[in-house]
Structure 1
């Protein structure tokens, strides 16, 4: 299944006989709707027909519009999702219960285990001893998170402390691998250096993927566990993405190390840099294989969907739940 990334002013999208037609000043392309999973509108100035929108809903194709920071400004998806009421009632009931504590433990464990896995992989490539020390410390913190026993509020606070402790190890270690000319010193969402700005943009893309996976699993993306509820903020998507941030980290790190330099103008990535990040993250989600224990390999995008389904099943009391850890 394909993802189409649409960028550039003056591009027109329309429907004809089971095809999406993509027309710009210099070229025309046709793609069967049966081959499509997602259409991403990356820039303004794109025109699309209402008939195409209706057909994408009919075919169950995800349609997403990104803002200039990479966050979903809006999206379209089919209106009928199975077991939504049952799942969301269970989700709300799990808040501040043992199930909620378990979910938080698994989210943090998975996040830290994936951070450790990424550093370990690069240690094997580079034999830089600082990376070895770092991944061992972070995996120890991950196990501490998984074994934590406490009530909901206390657990949330202690897990946040473990996250922060891991971050103080992870980001300085990652900076060793990033070319010095990019000027990356530490992770700071508000910094306008090229690395932090491109990380923000890549995470925004993953927020959209997380939101989609949760909604299609019947979950409420606005009711989280680790992140405190905030009006209009999809805090469960913020929780869920923690297990998959390594997707952005590993993709961008490889790009930096192959000589790519994102351009920042007035605090924002330029058009070419944004397009490159969208394309690269999409390829990682669609082409990187991973697997659950004793199961066939799947793509990272499929893993996100499967993890959301398993989370919903756990909250309904139908199964156990383990956070997602990539097969490093």
Structure 2
């Protein structure tokens, strides 16, 4: 997936003929629609013409708007598959209190957390990752063990003491931002198979809360985000924080690294197939949709580390 970042104040995205024109005071660049999959807007003061939006939709190019902590808007071409049938099945499953979807997501999440710790135990120090697997039915306990191990693996200067959305340490702030990128991809995948991103099985339904997105993304967080950020920091790159927010350059770097991971291959322990993370996210959205209609039992995604 090729992403084009729009990050500087005064940048304008317009159209000439059938080409995008990206212009600023310093330069003007022509971009073919065939050469871009996504525009990521990470700054205010950027102008986008209606023709540019229309051309992007014609080519299935997403426009994702990120602030310092979250994905706050997305424009994408929507052509969902069997929306009414799939959403009916989803709502019925929720009303019936079917637990297998939430249970499978949590099992997969915990196994991926254990795999992630196991990876680093081979690289830099020994960690008793196996204890996490004792808590596949207790997400809170598994999470506490997992994040305490992450804290132990990270350099002390990072100041990470555990997962806390409101913490001002660089790792927590980076996690918040990187998870927003993953949520965006999960939202797209779920929407395209006709599921309601706001009606989930684990996270509570609240107005504007993408509950199913948050549920579904749990299976991919360890491999896509946690690993990528750990690798960045252990390689020596420390994102910069200004006024409790990531600096523009750090945001660009995190987007670049997460996109690289999303386009990298991962082996699925369930079927042995090798796909990119992006392909895997889409495959499991389809699997969930099929399972909701009773066509197959849902199994959560566990990667082979």
Kept in 1: contact 2:265–2:274 (CA 8 A): no
C-alpha distance in 1 between matches for 2:290 and 2:64 = 26
1:264 equivalent to 2:221? Answer no
Give the equivalent residue in structure 2 for 1:50: 50
1:325 matched to 2:302? The reply is: yes
Deviations 1:48-100 (A, max 9, x none): 1111111111112111111221x2221112243220111000000001536x3
Contact 2:270 2:301 in 1 (8 A): no
How far apart are the structure 1 equivalents of 2:27 and 2:272? 42
Deviations 1:22-68 (A, max 9, x none): 22333333332123322111111211111111111111211111122
Cα deviation for residue 322 of structure 1 reads: 1.0
Whether the 8 Å CA contact 1:290–1:300 is kept in 2: the answer is no
Contact persistence 2:78–2:192 (CA under 8 A): no
Cα distance change of structure 1 residues 63 and 118 upon mapping to structure 2, 3 Å threshold: same
User: Residue in 1 aligned with 2:185?
Assistant: 209
State the distance in 2 between where 1:291 and 1:301 align. 13
**How do 1:218-297 residues align onto structure 2 when only pairs under 5 Å count?**
218-246=194-222, 247-291=224-268, 293-294=270-271, 296-297=273-274
3-state SS in 2 of match to 1:243: coil
Question: Matches of 1:187 and 1:232 in 2, distance apart?
Answer: 23
| In structure 2, C-alpha distance between the alignment counterparts of 1:38 and 1:310, rounded to whole Å | 25
- Partners of 2:28 and 2:273 lie apart in 1 by 37
Match of 1:137 in 2: 131
In terms of fraction of residues, the more helix-rich structure is 1
How far, CA to CA, are the matches of 1:322 and 1:294 in structure 2?
A: 10
Q: Distance in 2 between matches of 1:41 and 1:270?
A: 15
CA distance, structure 1, for counterparts of residue 270 and residue 28 of structure 2? 44
Of the structure 1 ranges 298-307 and 281-290, higher mean CA displacement relative to structure 2 is found in: 281-290
Gaps of 5+ in 1: 146-161
1:89 paired residue number: 88
SS in 1 for 2:209: coil
What is the Cα deviation at residue 168 of structure 1?
1.7
Q: How far is 1:230 from its partner?
A: 0.5
Matched residue SS, 2:219:
helix
User: How far does residue 297 in structure 1 lie from its aligned partner after superposition?
Assistant: 2.1
Aligned residues: 304
Partner of 1:190: 166
1:166 Cα deviation from its structure 2 partner: 0.6
Partners of 2:74 and 2:153 in 1: how far apart? 36
User: Unaligned regions of 5+ residues in structure 2, if any?
Assistant: none
**Which residues of 2 match residues 126-165 of structure 1 at below 5 A?**
126=124, 128-129=125-126, 131=127, 133=128, 135-142=129-136, 145=137, 162-165=138-141
TM-score (norm 2): 0.94
Shift of 1:5: 2.1
Residue correspondence of structure 1 range 12-91 to structure 2 within 5 A:
12-69=12-69, 71-91=70-90
**C-alpha distance in 1, partners of 2:272/2:33?**
29
- 1:149 alignment counterpart: none
Q: Pick from 170, 181, 190: which aligns with 2:146?
A: 170
